[in-house]
Amino acid sequence: MARVALVTGGTRGIGEAISVALKAAGYTVAATYGGNDEAAHKFRDDTGIHVYKWDVGDFEACKDGIAKVEADLGPVDVLVNNAGITRDGVLHRMDPAAWRAVIATNLDSLFNMTRNVIEGMRNRNYGRIISISSINGQKGQFGQANYSAAKAGVFGFTKAVAQENAAKGVTVNAIAPGYIATEMVKAVPEEVLKTKILPLIPTGRLGEPEEIARCVVFLAAEEAGFITGATLTANGGQYMT
């Protein structure tokens, strides 16, 4: 039986490429999305991948949603915490809603999702938790106090949960993408992208979603069982840790 992989925010952007790559690698994939029905339905029709709609910032919604995925497809062996949003703005003008929304979707979601699959993984002595952080959680980013804080939190979560579950065959890792050609990056003002970001990327280009997806497939594999608590960085050389 194919292993089941659940990808949050798995119908658009980097998440879409991750869902498609995991399916190609032989997994049965479930992709969640938060709001864009049209994109999700097109994705489902194009790829044949199962889609589910819930808010990853809401613990009960995650609990119910995961129960439904497991009833439909079987126990989740691979969880990819990918869903993320931006509400960019300098801190001295940021309102509480912009802070809360980003922390809820980008960081609370790790607890909400992982908490609801981890007991099953421990009982089965197998699991892969892969969370998508960001270069901006590693280095900080002007205009992203909320996003940088959430993405930095991903690393602490990963290292703690990796320790707790290593003896149970469950690995927990993070991926730190740089600037990838998705709608999220295209939303950055063009002048800022051209003058403040692109010149800092030694490869001279944005990354492609598929370049992050292959990192996920690598960490999801059974053969990656000795890698845990790690961060796999893919940023075109923009920031070297």
Which residues are tagged catalytic? 147
| Amino acid identity, position 137 | G
User: CB 181 → ligand CAA: shortest distance, Å?
Assistant: 11
Of 3-11, 17-25, 177-185, 221-229, which segment contacts ligand CAA by CB under 6 A? 177-185
Q: Fill in the per-residue mask, 123 to 152: x = in contact with ligand CAA (CB under 6 A), - = not in contact.
A: -----------xxx----xxxx--x-----
Q: How far apart are CA 208 and CA 219, in angstroms?
A: 18
Q: How far apart are CA 233 and CA 137, in angstroms?
A: 11
**Is the CB of residue 232 less than 8 Å from the CB of residue 178?**
no
Q: Does 154 bind ligand CAA (CB under 6 A)?
A: no
3-class SS at 126? Answer: coil
User: CB 151 → ligand CAA: shortest distance, Å?
Assistant: 7
Classify residue 19 as left (phi > 0), alpha (psi -120 to 50) or beta: alpha
Q: Which is nearer to ligand CAA, 19 or 136 (CB)?
A: 136
56: which 2 tokens?
A: 């990853």
Q: Which of 44, 63, 196, 214 binds ligand CAA (CB under 6 A)?
A: 196
Helix or strand (DSSP H, E) at 235: none
179: which 2 tokens?
A: 């600037």
- Give how many residues touch ligand CAA by CB under 6 A: 19
User: CB 84 → ligand CAA: shortest distance, Å?
Assistant: 7
**Where do contacts with ligand CAA occur on this chain (CB under 6 A)?**
86, 88-90, 134-136, 141-144, 147, 179, 184-185, 188-189, 192, 196
